[in-house]
Homo-oligomer: A and B are copies of this chain.
Amino acid sequence: MAASGCAARPNNGTRKGFVTEPIAYLNGRIIPASELSLPVYDAGVVMGVTVSEMVRTFRHRPFRLDDHLDRLLHSLKHARIDIDVGKDELGKVSHDLVEHNARPLDTEDDLGLVIFVTAGPVPTYRRMAGWPAQAMPAVCIHTFPLAFDLYAAKMKTGAHLITPSIRQVPAASYDPQMKCRSRMHYYLAQREAQAVEPDATALLLDLNGNVTETNTANFLMVKDGTIFSPRVAEILPGISRETVFQLADRMQIPFEERKIPLSDALTADEAFLSSTPYCLMPVTRMNGATIGNGVPGPIYRRLMETWSSQVGLDIEKQIEG
């Protein structure tokens, strides 16, 4: 694949530092992660036209990488972006990066692995300095050690969700099933919620007042022993959420998708979020109201234990620890 004008340096095998320094992938080259950047004429910078995935490792091995890659391909189809790197190659590079970059990590640490593709250089800027000979989508893969400290406190107390005035972008504008990076609404939602209560997490409603998702997690709730999720057509079909579905199936906990008006969520017995870095996080308050008894609920607990035993690692302990 030809360069898309990104500021990538040639992959010089002899270059020193590669042994210990984390590496990244950009448009067919391996570069030091610290040099990874996008030129300002790339559609990823100019228009937020990027599709992406975030995978995590458990014990330094990627979790459900294959499912993440399938979803990436689906997002690319939605976005009508064609790339000439196949799923196999993306998978192989991902494994290589993880292997290399995890080496200096402590055992209690784990990596986030990010894969993203932008639509490439935007023609409006084609006379700008640095514009490439051939404009192609930018394909990038990199890792970073997960910052568990961001989540530790809330794993214990539970998150407080607030529904801000900002609403989910409707599918008629762009489909929530496509994981893309035009996320101004998520940012505004989070800013608004935290301006009122600094520890809050924004839960976005759709234009009709039904629950969708937070800026980084799926929302799940429990009522009378059944786990409920918003319908998949109106949310990002999260891989962690998919894992909950499979765990629930194995644990014989009913799991149902339906439209969830906010008032149903406010009167739930239990609620939690699912997301790649922390897997599951309990929700104990919503819009100031206590959910259930105000402590992490029993179904959350059972799911977290089963998930932990499946990956051979006490997830809560890792995050809090």
Residues of A at under 8 Å CB distance from B?
6-7, 21-22, 32-41, 43-50, 74, 77-80, 112, 114, 116, 119, 123-130, 140, 142, 144-147, 150, 162-175, 177-178, 180-188, 191-192, 194-197, 200, 205, 207-209, 216, 233, 258-259, 261-264, 266-267, 277, 287-289
Residues of B within 8 A of A188 (CB): 79-80, 174
Given contacts A147-B123, A207-B172, contact A187 B79 (CB under 8 A): yes
Which residue of B has the minimal Cβ distance to A207?
B172
Report yes or no: B233 in contact with A261, Cβ–Cβ below 8 A: yes
Q: How far is the CA of A162 from the CA of B196 in the complex (A)?
A: 8
Number of chain copies forming the complex: 6
Q: How far is the CA of A170 from the CA of B263 in the complex (A)?
A: 12
Residues of B within 8 A of A33 (CB): 128-130
- Pick from B123, B207, B233, B277: contact of A259, CB under 8 Å: B233
Residues of B within 8 A of A74 (CB): 267
Can you pick out 5 interface pairs between chain A and chain B where the beta carbons lie within 8 Å of each other? A43-B187, A47-B183, A165-B287, A171-B261, A195-B287
The distance from the CB of A60 to the nearest CB of chain B, in whole angstroms, is: 15
Q: How far is the CA of A200 from the CA of B267 in the complex (A)?
A: 23
The distance from the CB of A130 to the nearest CB of chain B, in whole angstroms, is: 4
Report yes or no: A263 in contact with B124, Cβ–Cβ below 8 A: no
Which residue of B has the minimal Cβ distance to A119?
B187
Residues of B within 8 A of A47 (CB): 48, 181, 183-184, 186-187
Given contacts A146-B127, A170-B209, contact A192 B44 (CB under 8 A): no
The distance from the CB of A16 to the nearest CB of chain B, in whole angstroms, is: 15
Report yes or no: A79 in contact with B184, Cβ–Cβ below 8 A: yes
Which residue of B has the minimal Cβ distance to A193?
B288
- Pick from B48, B79, B186: contact of A181, CB under 8 Å: B48
Q: How far is the CA of A7 from the CA of B266 in the complex (A)?
A: 34
Given contacts A175-B261, A264-B233, contact A140 B80 (CB under 8 A): no
Residues of B within 8 A of A126 (CB): 147, 150
Report yes or no: B164 in contact with A150, Cβ–Cβ below 8 A: no
Q: How far is the CA of A187 from the CA of B184 in the complex (A)?
A: 15
Which residue of B has the minimal Cβ distance to A285?
B195
- Pick from B147, B183, B191: contact of A124, CB under 8 Å: B147
12 A-B pairs besides A38-B38, A168-B173 with CB distance below 8 A are A32-B129, A33-B128, A35-B130, A45-B45, A45-B50, A47-B48, A49-B184, A80-B289, A165-B205, A169-B173, A192-B289, A195-B289
Given contacts A44-B45, A48-B182, A167-B209, contact A195 B80 (CB under 8 A): yes
Q: How far is the CA of A172 from the CA of B208 in the complex (A)?
A: 7
Q: How far is the CA of A41 from the CA of B33 in the complex (A)?
A: 11
Q: How far is the CA of A117 from the CA of B178 in the complex (A)?
A: 26
Q: Which residue among A6, A32, A207, A258 has the maximum number of chain B CB atoms within 10 Å of its CB? A: A207
Residues of B within 8 A of A200 (CB): 196
Residues of B within 8 A of A192 (CB): 80, 287-289
Which residue of B has the minimal Cβ distance to A233?
B261
Given contacts A78-B263, A165-B163, A178-B263, contact A7 B195 (CB under 8 A): no
